[in-house]
Amino acid sequence: MQFKSLGDKRQVVSLSEAVFKGLADDGSLFMPEEIPALSDEFFQKLPGLSLPEIAFSVLKPFVSEDLSEDELREMVESTFSFPIPLKPVNDRIHVLELFHGPTQAFKDVGARFLSRLMSKLHPVTDKKMVVLTATSGDTGGAVAHGFYKVPGIDVVVLYPDGKISPYQQNQMTSLGHNIHAIAVDGAFDDCQRLVKQAFNDRELRGEVAVTSANSINLGRLLPQMVYYFQGVARFMEQNGQQPPVVCVPSGNFGNITAAVIAHRMGLPVKRFVAATNVNDVVPRFLKSGNYDPKDTIVTLANAMDVGDPSNWPRLFELYNQDTEQLKREVAATVVNDGEIKETIKEVFSKNSYLLDPHSATGYLGLSRQLKGEETGFFVSTAHPVKFLETIDAVLPAEAEKIREEFGDAFRVKGTHETMQNSYSKLKEYLLKM
Ligand SMILES: *Cc1c(COP(=O)(O)O)cnc(C)c1O
């Protein structure tokens, strides 16, 4: 399988190039050159397959020119080593819990698979390989854990000193080994600027192979397809043969893009719902036909606070950039902060199920969109422990229980390395590693 640039479609690269470059030379995203259909035999066996077995079959066509079957098997076994359960919330709605990974966020799977890909595919050189990334708190933990102890790769995560929660800080600083989390004396934007400067520094790149692990990387996107094979298989097991409506709480639209690719490979899904918070560029586009990105608005579901979703061109391309075609399969709906709080409260009191703000967006999006006899599932992208301030505000007794359960995670531990907000300091650090 080769991968094409969405800009200049003649630019075709190998998996390895797509993974290490992240973006094509023309600045566009990479997409698989084609989407293979899985066999009838696979779908017959699907209900009995384990997660690593599903992942192996689904990912194989994309990586078979670059990895041996044994290598792929080892990668999916170590990536998909935690459960992804489907649970009923009420008689029409199920939830697929994606938060049982090491940082309680769905990004764990993508980060883990990418790290293993990079470790397997990186060319043998004497240059040190460093994944360099800036975080405002949430994704840094998934990347740090994803690359933890992965041979041949060091990770440097920059985060704004004092501006992330102790819980988030612990997820990055308590690891050690090849994970270097550094508190920068500045804001998130400063961290991002330092990272950009490093990527543009030819002298540095002559010495150190710096690479990024951000969410547009195909190595993070592709393994997310596995969620939907798992979700649909479990759903049909529990509910008979009607394919589900699937709702994905969306920010950069990577997760829902993976879901649609899974459907193209043959996975039965009735239709999709993309649920956003008030950063609603896509829902507005589907209404007006006008793609009009806006500045980001801060919401309770802040991992989805995205004004101009980076994966949107991929999703649109899957429908040949035809809005009508897309709307036949994908609906979009907007959930505001008041509705998020209301939903968390209501679903807990009616169904004893505790949602985090992102998952609440997914739940409400699905329940609004189900018509007639339709049933379906939404994906839960984070454990409530990660967004405890909101749980505190609506269900304080539940927040307290979580605090007791996770106790230790809220006290700062681990070493806390700091750095001045200065590029020369970062460069010195990277060269000395
Ligand atoms: C990243 C993230 C999302 C959004 O996923 P996209 O692929 O960017 O649409 C939703 N919820 C949580 C908790 C996230 O971390």
pLDDT in tens, 151-168: 889 999 999 998 888 888
Half-sphere exposure of 214 (CA within 13 A, CB side): 19
CB 146 within 8 A of CB 114: yes
Tell me if residue 273 falls in helix, strand or coil: strand
- Most ligand 1 atoms within 8 A of CB, residue of 29, 171, 282, 381 to mutate: 381
Find the 360 Cα to ligand 1 centroid distance in Å. Answer: 13
Atom of ligand 1 nearest to the CA of 257: 7
Predicted pLDDT of residue 138: 78
Q: Which residues contact 87 (CB under 8 A, 6 or more apart)?
A: 94, 95, 97, 353
Residues 138-165 as b/e (b if ≥16 CB within 10 A, e otherwise) read bbbbbbbbbbbebeebbbbbbbbbebbb
Strand 271-276 and strand 330-334: pairing? parallel
Find the 250 Cα to ligand 1 centroid distance in Å. Answer: 6
Atom of ligand 1 nearest to the CA of 386: 13
Atom of ligand 1 nearest to the CA of 139: 15
Domain assignments of the chain as residue spans, ordered by start: 84-106+221-406
Q: In this structure, which residue's CA is closest to atom 8 in ligand 1?
A: 252
Tell me if residue 379 falls in helix, strand or coil: strand
Find the 207 Cα to ligand 1 centroid distance in Å. Answer: 34
Find the 214 Cα to ligand 1 centroid distance in Å. Answer: 12
- Most ligand 1 atoms within 8 A of CB, residue of 106, 221, 246 to mutate: 106
Find the 45 Cα to ligand 1 centroid distance in Å. Answer: 30
Predicted pLDDT of residue 208: 93
In whole angstroms, give the CA distance from residue 250 to residue 275. 6
Atom of ligand 1 nearest to the CA of 248: 9
DSSP string, 226-242: HHHHHHHHHHHHHH-SP
* Tokens read off for 229: 């094979």
Q: What is the pLDDT tens value at each position of the chain, 433 positions in all?
A: 999 999 988 889 999 999 998 888 888 999 999 999 999 999 999 999 999 999 999 999 999 999 999 999 999 999 999 999 999 999 999 999 999 999 998 999 999 999 999 999 987 777 889 999 999 877 899 999 999 999 889 999 999 998 888 888 988 998 999 999 999 999 888 998 999 999 889 999 999 999 988 889 999 999 999 999 999 999 999 988 899 999 999 999 999 999 999 999 999 999 999 999 999 999 999 999 999 999 889 999 999 999 999 999 999 999 999 999 999 999 999 999 999 999 999 999 999 999 999 999 999 999 999 999 999 999 999 999 999 999 999 999 999 999 999 887 777 776 689 999 999 999 999 999 8
Find the 359 Cα to ligand 1 centroid distance in Å. Answer: 10
Pocket of ligand 1 (CB under 6 A): 105, 107, 138, 249-255, 303-304, 358, 381-382
119 CA to centre of own chain:
20
The residue ranges of DSSP E strands in 93-152, in sequence order, are 93-97, 128-134
Predicted pLDDT of residue 414: 65
Find the 131 Cα to ligand 1 centroid distance in Å. Answer: 21
For the chain, how are helix, strand and coil distributed in percent, rounded to 5? 50, 15, 35
Find the 246 Cα to ligand 1 centroid distance in Å. Answer: 15
* Tokens read off for 181: 């989390």
pLDDT tens, 94-148? 999 999 999 998 999 999 999 999 999 987 777 889 999 999 877 899 999 999 9
- Most ligand 1 atoms within 8 A of CB, residue of 252, 279, 330 to mutate: 252
Atom of ligand 1 nearest to the CA of 99: 13
pLDDT tens, 240-254? 889 999 999 999 999
In whole angstroms, give the CA distance from residue 67 to residue 63. 6
- Most ligand 1 atoms within 8 A of CB, residue of 255, 296, 340, 380 to mutate: 255
Q: Which residues contact 275 (CB under 8 A, 6 or more apart)?
A: 247, 248, 249, 250, 332, 333, 334, 335, 361, 362, 364, 365, 366, 378
Half-sphere exposure of 163 (CA within 13 A, CB side): 18
Predicted pLDDT of residue 360: 98
Q: Which residues pair with 340 in a beta bridge?
A: none
Find the 39 Cα to ligand 1 centroid distance in Å. Answer: 30
Find the 141 Cα to ligand 1 centroid distance in Å. Answer: 14
Q: Judging by beta carbons within 10 Å of its beta carbon (0-12, 13-18, 19+), is residue 55 exposed, middle or buried?
A: buried
Choose the CATH number for 84-106+221-406 among 3.20.20.10, 3.40.50.20, 3.40.50.1100, 3.40.50.300.
3.40.50.1100
Nearest to 101 by CA among 171, 173, 163: 171
In whole angstroms, give the CA distance from residue 292 to residue 285. 7
Mean pLDDT, rounded, of the chain: 94
Nearest to 81 by CA among 57, 51, 47: 51
- Most ligand 1 atoms within 8 A of CB, residue of 143, 304, 383 to mutate: 304
Q: In this structure, which residue's CA is closest to atom 15 in ligand 1?
A: 303
pLDDT tens, 212-250? 888 899 999 999 999 999 999 999 999 888 999 999 999
70 CA to centre of own chain:
26
Find the 303 Cα to ligand 1 centroid distance in Å. Answer: 6
Q: In this structure, which residue's CA is closest to atom 14 in ligand 1?
A: 303
